[in-house]
Amino acid sequence: MATDLAKFAKDNGVKYFMISFTDLFGGQRAKLVPARAIADMQEDGAGFAGFATWLDLTPAHPDMLAVPDPEAVIILPWNKEIAWVPANCVMEDQPVEQAPRNVLCRLIDEAAAEGMHVKTGIEAEFFLLTPEGDQISDPYDTAAKPCYDQQAFMRRLDVIREISDHMLELGWNPYQNDHEDANGQWEMNWDFDDALRTADKHSFFKFMAKCVAEKHGFRATFMPKPIEGLTGNGCHAHISVWDAPGDKAKTNVFAGAGEGQTGELGLSERGKHFLGGIMKHASALAAITNPTVNSYKRINAPRTTSGATWAPNTVTWTGNNRTHMVRVPGPGRFELRLPDGAANPYLLQAVIIAAGLSGIRSKADPGKRHDIDMYAEGHKVKGAPKLPLNMLDALREYDKDKGLKAAMGDEFSAAYLKMKMQEWNDFCGHFSDWEKANTLDI
């Protein structure tokens, strides 16, 4: 039986619910609802004017109702009288097809109908900046190779420990935390889970990291490249497919020695074809996994001060080697290293499933494995597509990929392309310091 949120509030001393949904640009929108009103809201949803968010709706549209998913409710570990609950958007009793959580739920159902249950783990890197957001928060964190820096870690222990404590309390099974490759950058890892659960946790993690950072007088950002010259914020996804959801999962469908170069690394035939789908649709799915103007400052970037970008620029795959777009680190799973911190948590999972399903249905071949250092020898690879160089190229690739557009949903794809093209045009109307510095005297 579904969790009764009114009873949940009474049992747990919850005074308010934050009913939250995520728009097309990845923005989290919420209403704070007193527990006395939650019973009605659980049934009917909380009302929003969709046009006021990044969805392709007009001011004339009727109320959009965000109906909470009671199984996904989380009590804020840092404010236990408030519970956050992600919601599915509905309008006039119909799901809003373009709403990201609805897109993901539909694709999960499609995969389940074919006996596939995608599980993912994500690595959501972030920076701790000053509140103004223009520099890292620790002025002493200046090493050229700051990754795993023990002393810099201790200067931000209060923040990282607090977030880790919260994840322990929530039962997410966090297992490691580290200072990442850029000055001021962090990574915290927790166990992989079903795609929808990972998307909800990913959303909540971003919210939690920002809240805890603000409490300590800092600003957490997942922006793909917040500081010029330093390594950017990736959001690598580790992907496997199982025979059943949740605790019922017994068999990893990706595990097993299939044929060819993927089989040598312990991927089954279905694993190979799923990977084939990701490779085939890579340039188009970048419009989702790398969704902002700034995303393209991380991929295709010049070498950073640490010596490597840790981000791909070409559609290639390999074994346990971090210089490619896809790494197969061990049997039964692979890591997609393309996504960045701006990726919408729901659309990220959705596009992985959409591309992977398409690959399985068409028995897609991932192509040749390149066991080389792509940062040093990438120029030797012939025939592999380069990833899009900017957001406009990515949107055009997405628009050209009819199969992926249809798999993500025609209504969603049309809305996404329209809103993102508006964003691109808005960006193009903006004048940068670089233009003045380089062309004022021409």
Please give the single-letter amino acid code of residue 279: M
Tell me how long the chain is.
442
Q: Closer CB to Mg ion, residue 236 or residue 281?
A: 236
Measured from the CB atom, the residue of 141 and 187 that comes closer to Mg ion is 187
Backbone Cα Rg of the chain? 22
Q: How far is the CB of 273 from Mg ion (least distance, A)?
A: 28
- Positions in 371-430 near Mg ion (CB under 5 A): none
CA 398 to chain centre: 18
Is residue 396 exposed (0-12), middle (13-18) or buried (19+ Cβ within 10 Å)? middle
* Footprint of Mg ion on 272-331 (CB under 5 A): none
Written as six digits, the tokens of 193 are 């889970």
Kindly state whether residue 269 participates in binding Mg ion, applying the rule CB under 5 A: no
Q: Which is nearer to Mg ion, 189 or 292 (CB)?
A: 189
Which listed range, 68-76, 187-195, 204-212, 267-275, lies at the site for Mg ion (CB under 5 A)? 187-195
Closest listed residue to residue 412, CA positions, set 98, 108, 57, 100: 98
Sign of CA dihedral 221, 225, 230, 232: positive
Quick one: 232 or 277, whose CB is closer to Mg ion? 232
For the CB of residue 5, give the shortest distance to Mg ion in the complex, in Å. Answer: 36
CB neighbours (10 Å) of residue 60?
Answer: 6
Tokens 């897609």 -> residue: 364
Q: Which stretch binds Mg ion (CB under 5 A): 181-189, 246-254, 257-265, 429-437?
A: 181-189
Measured between alpha carbons, how far is 420 from 417 in angstroms, rounded to an integer? 5
Contact 219, 225 (CB under 8 A): no
User: Between residue 146 and residue 165, which ones bind Mg ion under the rule CB under 5 A?
Assistant: none
Of 69 and 187, CB closest to Mg ion? 187
Q: Binding segment for Mg ion among 56-64, 182-190, 398-406, 425-433 (CB under 5 A)?
A: 182-190
Is 335 one of the binding residues for Mg ion (CB under 5 A)? no
Residue with tokens 């800092």: 218
Site for Mg ion in 53-112 (CB under 5 A): none
What's the closest the beta carbon of residue 233 comes to Mg ion, in angstroms?
9
Residue 159: which of 135, 181, 136, 193 has the closest Cα?
136
Q: Which residues pair with 32 in a beta bridge?
A: 18
Q: Which of 375, 376, 377, 401 is nearest to 388 (CA)?
A: 401
Contact criterion met (CB below 8 Å) for 391 and 283: no
- CB nearer to Mg ion: pick between 162 and 335: 335
Residue closer to Mg ion, measured from CB, 56 or 187: 187
Q: In angstroms, give the least distance from the CB of 236 to Mg ion.
A: 7
Token reading at 76 = 């804020």
Residues 28-47 that bind Mg ion (CB under 5 A): none
Report the residue closest to Mg ion, judged by CB.
187
CB of 187 to Mg ion, least distance (A): 5
Stretch that binds Mg ion, among 57-65, 179-187, 217-225, 250-258 (CB under 5 A): 179-187
187 binds Mg ion (CB under 5 A): yes
CB of 205 to Mg ion, least distance (A): 14
Q: Considering the complex, what minimum distance in angstroms separates the CB of residue 302 from Mg ion?
A: 19
Closest CA to 416 of 197, 103, 109, 200: 103
Interface segment toward Mg ion; rule CB under 5 A; list 87-95, 106-114, 135-143, 185-193 = 185-193
How many CB atoms are located within 10 Å of the residue 95 CB? 16
Name the residue nearer to Mg ion (CB basis): 162 or 187.
Answer: 187
| Closest to Mg ion by CB, 187 or 193 | 187
* Counts for the chain of helices (H) and strands (E), in that order: 15, 17
CB 33, CB 16: distance < 8 Å: yes
Smallest separation (angstroms) from Mg ion to the CB of 352 = 18
Q: CA–CA separation, 150 vs 94, rounded Å? A: 52
Piece of the chain touching Mg ion by CB under 5 A; list 180-188, 282-290, 415-423, 429-437: 180-188
Count of residues in contact with Mg ion, rule CB under 5 A: 1
Q: Considering the complex, what minimum distance in angstroms separates the CB of residue 364 from Mg ion?
A: 28
Q: How far is the CB of 336 from Mg ion (least distance, A)?
A: 13
Residue 346: closest CA among 49, 42, 72, 79:
72
Nearer to Mg ion, 187 or 397 (CB): 187
Tokens 């940068």 found at: 432
Strand 28-34 to strand 16-22: parallel, antiparallel, or no bridges (unpaired)?
antiparallel
Which CB sits closer to Mg ion, 187 or 269? 187
Least Å distance, CB 189 to Mg ion, is 9
Residues that bind Mg ion (CB under 5 A): 187
